[in-house]
Amino acid sequence: MNGSTEPDRLHGLDEQLRQWTDAGLRRHLAARAGSQGPTIVLDGRPLVNFGANDYLGLAADERVIAAAVESVRHEGWGSGASPLVAGRSETHSAFETDLAEFKGTEAALIFASGYAANLGTISALTSQGDAIYSDEKNHASIIDGCRLSGSAVHVYPHRDVGRLNELLRESAQYRRRLIVTDGLFSMDGDLAPLPELAELARQYDCLLMVDEAHSTGVFGQHGRGVSEHFGMHDQVDVHLGTMSKALGSAGGFVCGRRTLVEWIAQRARSYVFSTAPPAAASAAALAALQIVRDEPHRRKELLTRSRMIRQAIVQQGWSVGQGEGPILPVYVGQAARAMELAGAMADRGLYVPGIRPPSVPEGESLLRISLCYGHTPAMVERLLAGLAELAW
């Protein structure tokens, strides 16, 4: 009851919210003033920002902004319809062509978000009678796509290709089989064992899908992602990703053979039944892709710095993930501890988000440090000094 004589239709939600608060699991909806960048103002508080996926510093790059503004002037803001009706603009089309060229694939298709891209792609490619093999640490949008597909889902322990091999051997009865993995894992910051996964896909005749959300623009000689980094690019059937991270824009994509992309455009419900994103998001992403091509030093420097900073944090005695890229997870265990440390960093003017269940399993809470090209040496010094003060 809510104090009146009417029954409370939201009965139980208040109590659950209170329990989450007590357990340190209730999320706070902060609001940022101004643009994304190495420094931000969050809930009115100026902070050095180690919580963004804007790895190459393009979200507020003048060239990217100019491209978006120009597009809005000419094409308006809203796209007004789904892509298969009248929502797909020439700018969307031009970006898909450019993205396919960049990724070295026959075709590309863009979605309103990376989440929608995973949901739509996985559920368009597999259904009842098919099987999916998914790393236990895959992103929530992959997990939800697997569930939606109605296929048999085999979850293998993180990066455990031995166990995956067994699962594949024991379950040959399905029509189509898909191995799906994050390229650069979003929370643990480590890389998928792509050479081994590609070999298993070949051996068992499976499709191989890699979500390059965090690695597009960051890894590989041309910035294509982790598959290029490992020289496995041609052995990946489904290249998934998002424009919302290193490309500093918004929206998701899938790239691959023309037949595959055409199939997804016909069948992915999150594509067919959702309004096309604003053309300006594609205009911005087109400009960002050109910067990725023209300024490889951004990703090279970022990766070099990431290695050095990871090393420095390990030397302070923290338990840091074994990755290679700009995502540095500092494992602290309990959710309350992660939030306490995040608060103490914020008191020092540093935004380092605490990550807790359900984003990570119980007992594996962490501080997630995201490094970006725009961080200055002085900002990194402050990060390291803050962590050093809190190390125990």
Residues that bind ligand PMP (CB under 6 A): 113-115, 118, 139, 141, 182, 186, 211, 213-214, 242, 244, 252
Cα separation of 156 and 167, whole Å?
8
Cα separation of 40 and 107, whole Å?
37
> In the bound complex, what is the minimum distance in angstroms from residue 199's beta carbon to ligand PMP?
23
- C-beta separation of 120 from 111 below 8 A: yes
Choose the catalytic residue: 123, 134, 149, 186: 186
Choose the catalytic residue: 154, 245, 249, 270: 245
> In the bound complex, what is the minimum distance in angstroms from residue 211's beta carbon to ligand PMP?
5
Beta strands at 107-111 and 252-256: parallel, antiparallel or unpaired: antiparallel
> In the bound complex, what is the minimum distance in angstroms from residue 169's beta carbon to ligand PMP?
28
- C-beta separation of 190 from 321 below 8 A: yes
> In the bound complex, what is the minimum distance in angstroms from residue 258's beta carbon to ligand PMP?
23
Closer residue to ligand PMP (CB): 281 or 387 = 281
Closer residue to ligand PMP (CB): 55 or 386 = 55
Is there a catalytic annotation at residue 245? Answer: yes
Closer residue to ligand PMP (CB): 53 or 379 = 53
Strand partners, 319: 331
- C-beta separation of 77 from 378 below 8 A: no
> In the bound complex, what is the minimum distance in angstroms from residue 355's beta carbon to ligand PMP?
11
Alpha helices in 268-296 (DSSP H): 269-272, 279-294
Is there a catalytic annotation at residue 154? Answer: no
Choose the catalytic residue: 214, 229, 239, 375: 214
Closer residue to ligand PMP (CB): 79 or 382 = 79
**One-letter identity of residue 151:** S
Please give the full DSSP string across 153-190, using - where no structure is assigned.
EEEE-TT-HHHHHHHHHH----SSEEEEEESB-TTT-P
Q: Phi/psi at 254 (nearest 5 deg)?
A: -135, 135
Closer residue to ligand PMP (CB): 237 or 382 = 237
> In the bound complex, what is the minimum distance in angstroms from residue 212's beta carbon to ligand PMP?
8
Q: Which residue's Cβ has the minimum distance to ligand PMP?
A: 114
Residues in the chain: 392
350 burial (CB, 10 Å; 0-12 / 13-18 / 19+) is buried
Is there a catalytic annotation at residue 103? Answer: no
Closer residue to ligand PMP (CB): 57 or 241 = 241
- Sheet of 152-156, strands arranged across: 107-111, 252-256, 238-242, 207-211, 177-182, 131-135, 152-156
Active site residues: 186, 214, 245
